[in-house]
Amino acid sequence: MKLISRNIDKFGSGTVSVTPEEAEDMWQAYNLIAEGDHVKASTIRKVNLESATGTSSSTRVRTTLTIEVQGVEFDTQASMLRVKGKNMAENDYVKMGAYHTVDLELNRKFSITKDVWDSVSLERLEFACDVAQHADLAAVVMQEGLSNVCLITPAMTTVRAKIDVSIPRKRKGNIAQHEKGMNKFFDAVIQAIIRHINFDVVKCVLLASPGFIKDQLFDYMMQWAAKMDEKKVLDNKSKFVLAHCSSGFKHSVKELLADPNLATRLSETKAAGEVRALESFYQMMHSEPARAYYGIVHVEKANETQAIELLLISDELFRSSDINQRKRYVKLVEAVKDYSGTVKIFSSMHVSGEQLGQLSGIAAILRFPMPEIEDDDKEDGHTSD
């Protein structure tokens, strides 16, 4: 998602303009737009026109509307977002207060105005607009003199750097010039890796090429990193995986993603991490049930004593039509982070998110056992919400 403008005051009120560029961006927008927000977007409106002779005809015109959101629908098949609400601005074709449905489109700008951009919304906005924040897989595809450094998300592959260096051909009497050219090429690739790959997010970096260029780059990079004491490379040596591809062009990334030999390493992604977190919760429920609770009431009680080590929460809860409920979940997320807990926001569109939804959409693993939470509920006659 491309961020066009952001104007949010110190109280959290303001407007953000964005352009969705991929299908995944529509899902992010669905999670950003809430009831009560104002959305300004271009839309098609059917209008009736009357000629000077009194005859009328209908035509479709494109106009820009600002509507107060009363409902948002996401079409998973078409990756289309439909926003319903009433018109809040003067318009030649739509009366003030009239109801209209706007279909948000790929590659067409729209704006979202909120009374308060809370921390969860701002974090999602940053996540959606900075591919480096959520691309947990990177690929460096190369051939002699050509390399593309790519970041990969579930919906797209983005080229962050293209390196094209002219290298003298390797022939008798010209070996030194060839090696000098290769070293210049490797230096440029290494700098692109350091500049564009966020190792705090990325779980795996695929180095791929036909032949042995990938092996030469890896050896050169490790020697360089040791000499320069480049911790970013040395500390993440285990994340580099060498693989074969047919060329240094972007389309070679598809070969890597389809390679069954890489399946294990490619599973180390954000989605797989959420699955593991949910499995950890189930295991904790089985082995130490006093450290695993679900339901907003139980989880909030655990939060009162700063006991939450890992909070699992569905993005569906932040789309509640009840503003106070949304604030309640945002407050909980902020508190857990303030106490150095980890928060994982699950997508309700993934299997793991659906499973969490069956547990009320919220669960927590605690730092220490709190059997009194269950005991309090038994005394009060309460159960998990």
pLDDT band at 260, cuts 50/70/90? confident
Residues 153, 214 within the same domain = yes
Report pLDDT digits (tens) over 176-225. 899 999 999 999 999 999 999 999 888 899 999 999 999 999 999 999 99
Residues 168, 285 within the same domain = no
pLDDT value at 143 more than 80: yes
Q: What is the pTM of this model?
A: 0.70
Residues 77, 119 within the same domain = yes
Residues 94, 194 within the same domain = no
**pLDDT for res 296:** 95
pLDDT cut 90: percent of the chain above it: 64
pLDDT value at 250 more than 50: yes
pLDDT band at 284, cuts 50/70/90? very high
Residues 16, 103 within the same domain = yes
Average of per-residue pLDDT across 31-38: 94
Domain of 194, CATH number, reads 3.30.420.60
**pLDDT for res 243:** 95
pLDDT band at 378, cuts 50/70/90? low
- Considering only residues 95 and 268, tell me which one the structure prediction assigns the higher pLDDT: 95
**pLDDT for res 45:** 81
Question: If DSSP states are collapsed to H, E and C, what string results for the chain?
Answer: CEEEEEEECCCCCEEEEEECCCHHHHHHHHHHCCCCCEEEEEEEEEEEEECCCCCEEEEEEEEEEEEEEEEEEEECCCCEEEEEEEECCCCCCCCCCCEEEEEECCCCCEEEEECCCCHHHHHHHHHHHCHHHHCCEEEEEEECCEEEEEEECCCCEEEEEEEECCCCCCCCCCHHHHHHHHHHHHHHHHHHHHHHCCCCCCCEEEEEECCCHHHHHHHHHHHHHHHHCCHHHHCCHHHEEEEECCCCCCCHHHHHHCCHHHHHHHCCCHHHHHHHHHHHHHHHHHHCHHHEEECHHHHHHHHHCCCEEEEEEEHHHHHCCCHHHHHHHHHHHHHHHHCCCEEEEECCCCHHHHHHHCCCCEEEEECCCCHHHHHHHHHHCCCCC
- Considering only residues 348 and 182, tell me which one the structure prediction assigns the higher pLDDT: 182
Average of per-residue pLDDT across 82-106: 91
Instruction: Give the separation between CA 101 and CA 43, rounded to whole angstroms.
Output: 9
Instruction: Give the separation between CA 362 and CA 97, rounded to whole angstroms.
Output: 37
Question: What residue numbers bound the domain in which 187 lies?
Answer: 137-266
User: Mean pLDDT in the chain?
Assistant: 89
Residues 324, 310 within the same domain = yes
- Considering only residues 24 and 208, tell me which one the structure prediction assigns the higher pLDDT: 208
Return the top range by mean pLDDT from 89-98, 136-145, 265-274: 136-145
Residue with tokens 């990969």: 152
**pLDDT for res 136:** 81
Average of per-residue pLDDT across 36-40: 96
pLDDT cut 70: percent of the chain above it: 94
Report pLDDT digits (tens) over 299-342. 999 999 999 999 999 999 998 888 899 999 999 999 999 999 99
**pLDDT for res 38:** 97
Into how many domains does the chain fold? Answer: 3
In a domain, 44, yes or no: yes
**pLDDT for res 363:** 97
Instruction: Give the separation between CA 216 and CA 60, rounded to whole angstroms.
Output: 60
Residues 77, 165 within the same domain = no
Average of per-residue pLDDT across 239-250: 95
**pLDDT for res 376:** 66
pLDDT band at 235, cuts 50/70/90? very high
Domain of 309, CATH number, reads 3.30.1330.30
Average of per-residue pLDDT across 224-231: 95
**pLDDT for res 156:** 65
Residues 13, 128 within the same domain = yes
In a domain, 385, yes or no: no
Structure tokens of 266? 């490619």
Residues 237, 258 within the same domain = yes
What single letter denotes the amino acid at residue 68? Answer: E
Residues 105, 83 within the same domain = yes
Residues 107, 160 within the same domain = no
- Considering only residues 62 and 214, tell me which one the structure prediction assigns the higher pLDDT: 214
**pLDDT for res 164:** 96
In a domain, 50, yes or no: yes
